[in-house]
Structures are given as structure tokens and as C-alpha cells.
Amino acid sequence: MMIIIAEFFVVILKVLWAFVTAGAKWVVRPKEKSVAGQVCVITGAGSGLGRLFAKEFARRRAILVLWDINSQSNEETAEMVRQIYHELDTPITKDGPVGGVEEVPPFQPQVYTYVCDVGKRESVYSTAEKVRREVGEVDILINNAGVVSGHHLLECPDELIERTMVVNCHAHFWTTKAFLPKMLELNHGHIVTVASSLGLFSTAGVEDYCASKFGAIGFHESLSHELKASEKDGINMTLVCPYLVDTGMFKGCRIRKEIEPFLPPLKPEFCVKQAMRAILTDQPMICTPRIVYMVNFMKSILPFEAIVCMYRFLGADKCMYPFLAQRKEAMNNNEAKNGI
């Protein structure tokens, strides 16, 4: 009995210390780690946040491996990366698996593109094997690829629901299974899950998207615990949960007009810069803007009817309806043009 009581007080002290260290990181910005010379795989690199992540990692001299289902847009991203690489011609160093530093030859443009449909398991595994054979082992995995169907549940074709779940959630299982074994062997690596605030709290009209992002976050958290249980502290995990990002993915989404100036859609560049800061300081989770932390906490403690009341005040209960209406109109116009 005394042992349990003693352990309980030790746990209390460790919890308090965790609060202290977390608070200190909010006050004093931790030093960013170097990713120079490290191999970084980014899914969905052909546009949006994936393209911006590629540019940010290129500026930090990482070796980029870009995956996208669209070869043309992926090559456009690669060309942007090459332009950044062209400006970087000084020698670099690379962090070793066990914390040492090893010298890397003078920097040469290194970006690799692969056409990969992450919604197909076989495509993920075969592309991952090509990467290992042609580039080498992966140090950083950015699970960024995502889709949205843009339909109310009862109007959404089953195949689109399945596609949303597979790309936004199941693909994370497959990419991780492809690259994690070597990370475990070396006890070195970093896995980033680009999720959404809609994976922390939901709204009406995007049931499939919310379910996929909740699933991705659940996978990320469980894997984080598994790595801790395995004492693989050299492998870091970062969860990225942004509010609505102005990439066009949810074009037309609107909250209450009086509230919108205080909570506008995020600029993609700002979102990625915040995410990069979290990744490079090994922060476990980043929500942008910070009010997302508060909303997630309130969701956990408030009665459901209280949450509904707040949603209605903010205009968040039907914020996706204009977006869904635009998508439906666009599809109808498309069908009319094609004579369907």
C-alpha cells in the first residue's frame, strides 16, 4: 500500500513538472532542430499545404520526396523546390540517428517526385519501396494528403464516403507501416499528421470528413502512446490541427458575419509556418489559432445543448451549408455541360 501511495505522489510531481515545462515552452521559444540532409516524404505535395510544406523543408535543406496523385502539379512543386535549392550551395551537416552530427557533401538539388494514390494500399507500398531503393530510408513523414466530398450525408454517394475515409485516415496506416520499421530500428524519425480542427470537434454537413479526421487523430494519438510504451523516444510525433484554411478546399464556408473578422480563415502560409515551428521543436500538437485549444476543452466539459447554443451564436452550426450548396451547383452545371 505504501508503495502505491509513494508512486502516486511521484506521478503528481511528474504531472506538475510537465505543466511547468510546457508553460516554459510557451514563454521561451525552444531552439529549432536541423533537418538538413534528412529525407522527408510529403503526401499531397502537389498543391495547398503540401506544396508549402515542401518549400519550407527545402529552405531548411531537407531532401524532398514528393507524393501526389497529380503528376503535373507535383512537378510544379518540384520545380519550386529546385529553385529554392538553386539558391543554396553551401556545405551542410546532418543530424545522426543517435544525436551526433555528420558532415554532408556540398549541397546539391535533391527532390524526387512520385505519382502515388494514397487511397490505394498497393500504390502506397510499391511507391514506398521505390523511395527506399532510389532515395534511401525516410527520416520525416508528413501525412498531408486529404480530400472532401462536399455532400450532405444522405446525398453523398457511398464511393465518395469511402474515398474520404481511405485518403484522410486509412492512408496514414499504410504510409506509417511502410516507413516506421526503419525508424524503430534506428530510434530516429518524425511522423507528422496534418489533421484539422474538425477532427477535434465537428459541425453539420461534413460527417464523412469529420469522421476521417477524428480517425486520423485517434490513430496518431494511439501510435504516440505505443512509441512511448516501447521507449522509442527518438521518434517524434506532431499533430497539426488548423482551423479553416483558405486553400479553396472549403470555399464558401462562412460563420456569422459579425464574428468572422475575429476568426477569419487562416492564410495557408501562416498555418504552415506555425506547423513548421511545432515540427522543428518536437511539439506534440499544434492548434491554429490557439482558441482551438479552448474550444476543444470546452467541448469536453460542457453539456451538448450548451455546445449547440454556442454553435448557433457563432453561426458554426450551418457554416458548411454555403460550401455544400456551391459544390452541388458546380456538379449540376458540370453534368449539364456534359449532357448528363
Long-range contacts of 254-261 (CB under 8 A, 24+ apart): 254/315, 254/319, 254/322, 255/314, 255/315, 255/316, 255/319, 256/313, 256/314, 256/315, 257/315, 259/314, 259/315
Query: Taking phi first (over 0 means left), then psi (-120 to 50 degrees means alpha), and beta for anything else, what does residue 37 get?
Result: left
- Rounded distance between C-alpha atoms, residue 15 and residue 21, angstroms: 10
Look up residue 288 and give its DSSP letter.
E
C-alpha 217: how far from its chain's center? 10
Q: What is the per-residue DSSP string for 61-87?
A: TPEEEEEES-HHHHHHHHHHHHHHHHT
The identity of residue 112, as a single letter, is: Y
Task: Count the Cβ atoms, other than its own, within 10 Å of residue 47.
Answer: 17
Spot the catalytic one: 85, 114, 209, 243.
Answer: 209
DSSP-derived 3-state class of residue 40 = strand
Query: Taking phi first (over 0 means left), then psi (-120 to 50 degrees means alpha), and beta for anything else, what does residue 180 get?
Result: alpha
Residue 33 burial (C-beta neighbours within 10 Å; 0-12, 13-18, 19+) = middle
| Backbone phi, psi, residue 258, to 5° | -70, -25
- Rounded distance between C-alpha atoms, residue 75 and residue 67, angstroms: 10
Note if 85 is an active site residue. Answer: no
- Residues identified as active-site: 209
